[in-house]
Structure formats: C-alpha cells, structure tokens
Amino acid sequence: MTAMTRKKELFSTSTLVKIGVLGSLGGILMLFEFPLPFAPSFMGVDLSDTPVMLSSMALGPLAGVVTSFVKIVIKLLMKPTTTGFIGELSNLVLSISIALTVGFIYKMKKDRKGAIIAVAATVITMSAVALVTNAYIIYPAYVNVLGYNMSDLIALTNSLNGLVHDYWSMMFFMVVPFNVVKQGFVAILTIILLKHVEPLIR
C-alpha cells in the first residue's frame, strides 16, 4: 500500500466518522476517574485510551494519533481545563505514545499473539514517556505556571507512599507505578474488547 493510498484511507469519510466516534468515547471516558491508594487524588485513573488503542489497532497508528486529539478536544468541550491545559497536554502526549506503539507493533503481526505483545508494549512505552515528561515538563509546569509548591507535593505523596522522600523517588515510586497500573487496566480492557470491536471498526 502506497503512502498516498494510506492517506486517502485515513481521510475517507468512513474512517473519519469512526475516529470521531472513538475519540468522542475517549473524551467521555476522561470524565470518569478513580484514584489509586498510593497516588494523590489529583492523579485519577481513567480508561480513555482504550478507544485510542482500538482505533490504532483497527485503523492504523495515524488514526490512533488523530483519535487522541479528538479525545482531548471532546473532553475540553464537556469540561474546561482545571490545570491550565497542563493535564490535557500530558494526557495527549501519553495517548500519542500509546497509539504509535500499539499501532505499529500490531500492524506487523495481526493475530492474537501480536495483539498481546502490542498492548503489553504500551505499558512499558507509556511508563517511560510518563517518567520523562512528568520529570522534565509536567511537574515543573505545575510549579512554574500554576504556582504549586514542590515540597508540598512531595510531602503529600509521602503521606500516601512511604517510598517517596524527594523529587526523583516521587517520579520512580509514584509516577511510574501509577502509569503502569493505569495502562495495565487499559491494556487488559483492550484485549478483551478487540476481537469483538475490531470487525465493526474496520
């Protein structure tokens, strides 16, 4: 398949409608969060990347990336940002990393084993990207843009997770495990839904 053909397929009416539906579902799912006991309450787990992964696996990685953008737009239309768009930016970057990882791996091996490998890889990729972006972009932005006090954030996290005692231990023992658990839920749900949903999306 040529690059031009892939581009035409991505922007076909049928594909755009599917992306719109999946992105809208992802945006709605962003509104429903549940906390983890070892992480602060402002870090909620949601399942909004499940539609992104389904889109990327059924329609291709670029479709998954577009679905990620649609998801964020829909969420913002329904609920304005409370983090100066920092939270949404973080979510978008992680969603794109998930879409590209699962889409490209599954594209090379489109069977049950390939699906499992692809979704499992997203747990590793997302956690690594989350570590880097949170450490160097997201948390500094919370401090510099929103005026959060880093010492207070570390103290709050320490009260929930005794392994946290400074900035980098917060990154490794709170941010990384949080994203492993979050994406683990999404990966399991995606595998459960894939064989039922993929034929409908294609």
pTM equals: 0.90
Distance CA 59, CA 185 (A): 22
| Mean pLDDT calculated for residue range 132-143 | 95
Higher pLDDT, 65 or 5: 65
Distance CA 73, CA 163 (A): 36
pLDDT above 70: residue 93: yes
- C-beta neighbour count of 13 within 10 angstroms: 7
pLDDT in tens, 153-202: 999 999 999 999 999 999 999 999 999 999 999 999 999 999 888 787 77
Distance CA 46, CA 43 (A): 10
pLDDT in tens, 106-131: 999 999 999 999 999 999 999 999 99
Domain limits of the chain? Answer: 3-201
> Residue 44's closest CA among 83, 98, 14, 15?
83
CATH number for region 3-201: 1.10.1760.20
Both tokens assigned to 37: 């006991």
Contact, 43 vs 33, CB < 8 A?
no
